[in-house]
Amino acid sequence: MTESIASFPHARIAASADIDDQADIGPGTVIWHLAQVREHAVLGRDCILGRGAYIGPGVTVGHSCKIQNYALIYEPACLEDGVFVGPAVVLTNDTFPRAVNVDGTPKTAEDWDAVGVLVRTGASIGARSVCVAPLTIGRWSLVAAGAVVTRDVPDYALVAGVPARRIGWVGRSGTPLKDEGGGRFVCPITGDAYFERDGALTEEQ
């Protein structure tokens, strides 16, 4: 059960969610049980944040994003509009993680530099994928479930595996494109056409 709360009257937030007063939650956004949104994080309008999901300090989430149960979005990640993040996805922020310094003292925030994942408009990240920062997930791309992404993903790319590699192209519908030869690809759902050149895909004008 979700309801509006005084700090965020235009959003619906479960009573068990932990939302910092310094977060910015857009109108129409729904936040489910046990989710946590840290200080200075921004969620745009009409987002869905699933049960147990975590949004780190200063993370930016655009409009109409869907972040599924127990996904972990660590700062300084940035999600543009229309992004889908599947259950138990992790966006990391530490290239060489350690709990302690070389001298054995516990690491603090001042002992390392956080790096982030940028997820561009319309991209989807499948369940239990891990995106190892720093990297960019391109527009309307699709990361298959269970993938480990260690390098940038091009716009419209379908990537899978450990480490993730491109295995095809997808359109805005998320459906794999049909190769018509000569570098031309067509979406079987929408009929939209795309053209591949030098490892990149663009919409046909």
* 2-101+113-170: CATH number: 2.160.10.10
- Give the other-Cβ count within 10 Å of 156's Cβ: 26
Residue 8 is predicted with a pLDDT of 86
Per residue in 108-144, pLDDT tens?
Answer: 988 889 999 999 999 999 999 999 999 999 999 999 9
- The pLDDT of residue 5 is above 70: no
Residue 154 tokens read as 């091009």
Helices (H) and strands (E) in the chain, counts: 0, 27
Predicted TM-score (pTM) of this structure: 0.94
Whether the upstream peptide bond of residue 163 has omega within 30° of 0, thus cis, is yes
Domain edges within the chain? 2-101+113-170
**Average pLDDT of the residues in 133-161:** 98
Per residue in 168-179, pLDDT tens?
Answer: 999 999 999 999
What integer best gives the mean pLDDT of the chain? Answer: 95
- Integer Cα distance of 193 and 105 in angstroms: 56
